[in-house]
Chain A
Amino acid sequence: MPNVRASEVARRRLTIASRRLGTHDPVQTIGAMLDRSFELPLGDPRYGENCLTPGHMPLEHSYSELMGSSLRLDLEPLGPSASPQARQQEAGREMRRIVNQSFGAPALKWFDSRSEAWRGSRIHGGARFGAWFGGAFDQGGVQEAKVYYELGPNQLDDLPANLQHASRVAMACLPGLTPIFTSIACGRAAGAQRVYFFHKGDLRLLDLEPLLNRLGIGQQLPSLLAATGVVLGGRFVLPEGSVILGLRDTSKGMELKLDVLLGGVADPPQQLRELVNLTLAERPQSQRALQTWMQAMTPDDEKDPGDISVLSFRVRPEMGARLSIYLRPVGYDARPSRSREVA
């Protein structure tokens, strides 16, 4: 389908996935942004020039144990030729429109106060992507809208005081951490902001202990180690380039999110999906939700929904490790001109 715009395929697949999951159709809410972001033909190699899913079309779906029946997606807006500032403004505009439409003026006011530093014309000169947009949809409509803003040097000062303090604590405990972006999410009942760090060098999971203790979630270290160890096949040292840490200030304390970028792991386990299933076996409801989600996201002419690109574990003071899976959906990238399978 060389002349089909990728946005048309994305629209159709999202609509179908939303029907299968029984959620609101995201196309009704973000259809125009999909058109602006994926106006090149399906499989165009230029899509690979992005920071969300380098080498692939920048559209990612995710399953979260905490939002098991939702259709979640993240995307890099405006296509590969846009400037970071254009993306920052596009993501901000769309976020404000959706928040205002779905959650009302008080939520918009909250978002505006949190995002003021990124909604003007300022962006640091070395910005790489500017911003991403994310959304979660359930049967009631938009469940959560999220924007990820790239952080420049010294831009920690633009974070709320609590998050700023937690960030400095984290960087003191793990000197390899570098803040790279922040996400601001608005839901129906509350909003939340998270700051993400890239970890330079290998990370021993046990090295997280001082940080977890300082953040008041030290008791969840065993849970985090157990979940990570099982899913990654007994690996407790994560190589450089595979770790992103996120911190979020919630009403019940600080939440830590450990994202493992599978592209940065040299030899990820072959039976990754089985291991994920094994981890979720102790929570059958989540296990069933994942199976439903996988089925819903699988196109009829494909065997599976795509490749898992990121495994994410989050812990809070009152909650053990919970899993999220980020998926690079199948069918958007150019197919090889001939089969290379050995007969």
Chain B
Amino acid sequence: MPPNPTGSSSGSGSTPVPPQPSCIASYPDIFIRPDDTTVSSGDRDAKNALYKNLYLAVRYLIINQYQLASPDTVAQVVPISPDSFAVCPDPTEPDASRAIRLTFLSAYGLLFADNRTDPSMGRPSTARPGPDDIAIDPATGNVAASSGPNTFYIVPGFAAAMADAVREFKSSSSLFGRVLDRLRTVGTTTNPARITVWTRQLSGVTRRLVDERVDPSDPQINMRIDNSLALMLGDVIDGASAGIDISLPDLDQGTVVDIIADNVRALAAIYFSSQLEEMKMFAVVDRVVEHFLAGMLPISRGPGGQKIYDYFKTAPNRITEVERRNAYGRCFGVAQGAASDTLLNRNFSDNWIRFLSAVSIYNRQFGNTAGIQVINTDLTRVTSEQAVKAARDLAVNLSLHGYASSHFIAVELQKLVGTVKDMLSSADVLQAYGVRDMWQLIDRVSTLYLGGAVSSVRYKTTAQAGANVMLFLAANAPQLSTVASFQPNTADIFKGADIRSNVERWLAVTGTADDSIDKFSSPVDVQQAPTIPPMPQQQMPEAVRNMLGSIGNLANVGGINVAMPGNVIPRA
């Protein structure tokens, strides 16, 4: 069906939306339109490419595995091109077509919210397909006759997730319909005439309502939907982080999921915050609040004072410094936070410098994507396999430490950084300290009250570049996950301008010497690379251990029975 410029009505037909002349329906998590200025063109292309595979996979499964209507009808409602799925509600449209569209949007949104965005689940197109894999040709949206460069697979794990999504939709289909209607109403703008709906909001809001056992015929349903949407927007809109599943890989089929992209993204936010912590940004803001409360700052009523006061009042609900430092220790192994924490990321530093060194030298050897050799050096040569291995080791390590509280801490730290930046950038606060910007403010307060300033340029750079490197790993998690079938061009991802620039900026600002880069670019055999957090066993109390140790030669000491034959008996 071509884009319908006119018409209105609902997903379920229960609450018609007024007709919109020359209307465009926009689903930004299905297809980001070229006129969407909130996303850069590079991001838009990358995301649209990612969404297209999900779109085609859901479309294929709905057409071929669920008896919603004849395949031709379904194919007409859900066209092969995602950008053509811009259909506004049409009162004249048959109920069957509306039901198909609602099913599609709901299933798509549920999969999206569960981070099932890759139908191949990490499988490269060059890998040998499993017996139940379905190869899809993006050009036709159907089964590919032969494997091509753009062919992707729908693996059984994804088909099972789709089945779960359809089952979830069918159990509350009328509620999904009511939510879709409401989201269309909320997302309607008149100039230009457009209806914008995020499918992840459709699934997220409906799930909340189902959890609260809301009846679709509740007269206050719209209010309840609005409340759920407000809660969701105030929280996270990029999918429920708690909804990520751990899917154990089937090595025979070459599908591995030991890099959870969202875990890596969470750690990028925490890394960003950790660098600002070392810059003393949070310590400075605490000192500014202290000065404000003591009446030392010449600030009267105004936005700056209000922000400081709000910051002070919300302190009990905010993550504390100790909690922040605990998170840094757990995520990156820095010697901060709780001294007795056992699940620290001891391997981060090594994996980090090895990855940066490998990418740096790899690019010096092979140049950028245009094939231009940037620097010709006599340093150790790094093969593409070695660079991919270094990236994989780091990504697996970050993914492992991104489970559990990391997501939630990352979200909170992201908010905190924004709040602090906003507060320290207020004109009246800057004026009170006689500085021009927040970085000068941090320098001044650090120098005067916190035992000396650190290099803000260094930490700004490491925060930005380091977080970007981690986001790069998250974005390329599917390519890095696989060990079953190496793609010759996988390492080309390291030749991109962004990753090269971020790596070199980090190395340069930290003054990393070439001989260090050379040394750490060589791969090492990683003895242990767990992909799920360990469960620490309860230790024997120290008093008991001491008692056992004092029994003498009969005791097992440090796991070695010194009284056993062949062992050395201590001399008197």
Contact = CB atoms under 8 A, between A and B. Distances in A.
B248 interface: no
Interface string A77-102: 00001110110011111011101110
B545 A28 contact: yes
Interface stretch (A119-127, A198-206, A234-242, A248-256): A119-127
A31 B334 contact: no
B516 interface: yes
Interface string A107-139: 010000001000111111111000000000000
A38 to B, nearest CB: 13
Contact of B560 (A12, A97, A295): A12
Interface residues of B, number: 43
B377 interface: no
A81 B522 CA distance: 10
B512 A16 contact: no
B287 interface: no
B516 A100 contact: no
B339 A89 contact: no
Nearest to A11: B558
Contacts of B347: 86
B570 A100 contact: no
A230 B241 CA distance: 70
A31 B558 contact: yes
Given A19-B570, A97-B340, A121-B462, A92 B353 contact: no
B339 A96 contact: yes
Interface in A7-32: 8, 11-12, 14-16, 19-20, 25, 27-28, 31
B234 interface: no
For the side of the interface on A, what is the size category? 35 or more
Interface in A30-53: 31, 36, 39
A16 B570 contact: yes
Contacts of A11: 558-560
Contact of A20 (B275, B339, B571): B571
Interface in B390-445: none
Nearest to A295: B571
A269 interface: no
Given A28-B549, A89-B334, A157 B349 contact: no
A101 B511 CA distance: 36
Given A15-B560, A85-B349, A108-B339, A125 B570 contact: no
B356 to A, nearest CB: 11
Nearest to B514: A125
B353 A83 contact: yes
B332 interface: yes
B335 A122 contact: no
Contacts of A115: 335
A157 B560 CA distance: 46
A100 B340 contact: yes
Given A83-B349, A126-B511, A28 B558 contact: yes
B510 A120 contact: no
Given A19-B570, A85-B349, A119-B335, A126 B560 contact: no
A210 interface: no
Contacts of B549: 25, 28
B462 A39 contact: no
Interface in A177-218: none
B350 A83 contact: yes
B346 interface: yes
A15 B334 contact: no
A119 B344 CA distance: 14
B16 interface: no
Contacts of A96: 335, 339
A19 to B, nearest CB: 4
B373 interface: no
A93 B340 contact: no
A58 B301 CA distance: 62
A316 to B, nearest CB: 28
B210 interface: no
A318 interface: no
17 contacts: A8-B560, A12-B562, A14-B558, A20-B570, A28-B549, A83-B354, A92-B335, A101-B339, A119-B336, A120-B336, A121-B278, A121-B332, A121-B462, A122-B454, A125-B513, A126-B513, A295-B571
The 3 closest A-B pairs by CB, nearest first: A92-B335, A125-B511, A100-B339
Interface of B: 274-275, 278, 329, 332-336, 339-340, 344, 346-347, 349-350, 353-354, 452, 454, 458, 462, 510-513, 516, 520, 524, 527, 542, 545-546, 549, 557-560, 562, 567-568, 570-571
